Amino acid sequence: MIRALSLTAVLLMAAPACSETNRAGNPPVQARSSTTGLDAGLLAEALSEAETLPRLHSVIVARDGEVVAERVYRGPSLDTPVNIKSASKSVLAALAGIAIGQGLIEGPDQPISDFLGERFPTNPDPRLATITVGHLLSMQAGLGSTSGGNYGAWVSSPNWVRYALAQPFEAEPGGRMIYSSGTSHLLSAVLTEAADRSTHASAVAWLGQPLDIAIPQWPADPQGIYFGGNDMLMSPRGLLKFGELYRNDGVHEGQRVLPEGWVEASWNGRGTSRWSGNPYGYGWWIKTVGDRPVYFAWGYGGQMVFVVPSLDMTVVMTSDPSPVSERTDHVDRLHQLLDRTLIPAAERGA
């Protein structure tokens, strides 16, 4: 069990069971009833709508810690680790919180120069020395993005950490949000130095073992630092346990896994996406549906973990992660499933 360090001082249902085999040829996974479940009609409507989405692989809906519906429409089983794309950033943020709880990192305000100073460019911009661990977590490092059109050049470079550190500043550290997988990769490099072992080893020890979920190895950079912003592998059921860990304020089956205060800190919006307008905390996106805050991990193509604390609800959706040649509305429709159907179903209850 980890030594939990309070962050207060650091930073302030049930649908009818289906009987037919789904399109992927997997055995049907049945919806379960719950005394705190979802309105059966709205839940059935949501699951039927989900089936029409050609890129959607799986859906799991849990209320008050109990699964009320789970479906595999196509693709791997619910226990098969899949590429969660940039939802990896939420998992990485959890590892950072645990490292802080263990005293391996002093706190979000510790400069990254304490860990990565030897990798700074020659004659570095003085602002590099002011970037903190918290800035990496909230995408407020100020460095130019290595995502989008810049992604290919970055991952083709011989040293991802040095490349990310060498990007010109587009904002002051702690200023506006600049979404960048390179920024998250710097966090993986910090964790590697702080824990004196790979990010994968820490993920297995700090999350995989306590939650009893598989976290296989995922790609690493040329220096062996595991990708900090992309390509982690977790199963849909593993993602559900991860979402539930946050819904339960960092506690899993009576064991504190995340330090006290870390969930609250992670769900405090700091930067704001220039694309969606959604706030971003420490690895988690934030939106409001009606008057209900919704916190979500988001990976490319529709790898989603939604947590709605006011309804004691966690929803996982996994999708085809392969790139598409043109923009689709798939992710928007996943949000609509939650906002227009699943949240009202939970509000009505079983």
93: Cβ contacts below 8 Å, ≥ 6 apart: 137, 187, 266, 282, 283, 284
- What would the pLDDT profile of 285-334 be if each residue is shown by its tens digit? 999 999 999 999 999 999 999 999 999 999 999 999 988 766 689 999 99
Where is pLDDT greater, at 7 or 101? 101
The pLDDT of 61-78, averaged and rounded, is 97
For the chain, the three-class secondary structure string (H helix, E strand, C coil) is CCCCCCCCCCCCCCCCCCCCCCCCCCCCCCCCCCCCCCCHHHHHHHHHHHHCCCCEEEEEEEECCEEEEEEECCCCCCCCCEECHHHHHHHHHHHHHHHHHCCCCCCCCCECHHHHHHHCCCCCCHHHHHCEHHHHHCCCCCECCCCHHHHHHHHCCCCHHHHHHCCCECCCCCCCCCCCHHHHHHHHHHHHHHHCCCHHHHHHHHHHHHHCCCCCCCCECCCCCECCCCCCEECHHHHHHHHHHHHCCCEECCEECCCCCHHHHHCCCCEECCCCCCEECCCCEEEEECCEEEEEEEECCCEEEEEEHHHCEEEEEEECCCCCCCCCCHHHHHHHHHHHHHHHHHHHCC
Q: Which two tokens stand for residue 193?
A: 């130095």
Please determine, for residue 73, whether its predicted confidence score (pLDDT) is greater than 90.
yes
Strand-pair partners of 69: 61
Which among 208, 225, 180 has a CA at the least distance from the CA of 91? 208
Please determine, for residue 27, whether its predicted confidence score (pLDDT) is greater than 80.
no
Please determine, for residue 154, whether its predicted confidence score (pLDDT) is greater than 90.
yes
Q: Which two tokens stand for residue 286?
A: 């934030």
Residues 189 and 116: their CA atoms lie apart, in Å, by: 8
Domain ranges of the chain: 87-195
Contact 74, 225 (CB under 8 A): no
- What would the pLDDT profile of 195-226 be if each residue is shown by its tens digit? 999 999 999 999 999 999 999 999 999 999 99
Per-residue confidence at 338, pLDDT binned at 50, 70, 90? very high
The pLDDT of 188-201, averaged and rounded, is 98
Q: Give me the percent of the chain exceeding a pLDDT of 70.
A: 89
At 350 the pLDDT is 72
At 21 the pLDDT is 33
At 175 the pLDDT is 97
Please determine, for residue 4, whether its predicted confidence score (pLDDT) is greater than 60.
no
At 325 the pLDDT is 65
At 217 the pLDDT is 98
- Find how far residue 252's CA is from the centre of its chain: 17
Where is pLDDT greater, at 84 or 327? 84
Average pLDDT of the residues of the chain: 90
> Would the pTM count as exceeding 0.85?
yes
- What would the pLDDT profile of 107-140 be if each residue is shown by its tens digit? 999 999 999 999 999 999 999 999 999 999 999 9
At 326 the pLDDT is 62
299: Cβ contacts below 8 Å, ≥ 6 apart: 83, 84, 85, 86, 87, 88, 321
Q: Give me the percent of the chain exceeding a pLDDT of 90.
A: 85
The pLDDT of 156-173, averaged and rounded, is 97
Per-residue confidence at 37, pLDDT binned at 50, 70, 90? confident
Please determine, for residue 163, whether its predicted confidence score (pLDDT) is greater than 70.
yes
**Do β-strands 271-272 and 255-256 pair in parallel, antiparallel, or remain unpaired?**
unpaired
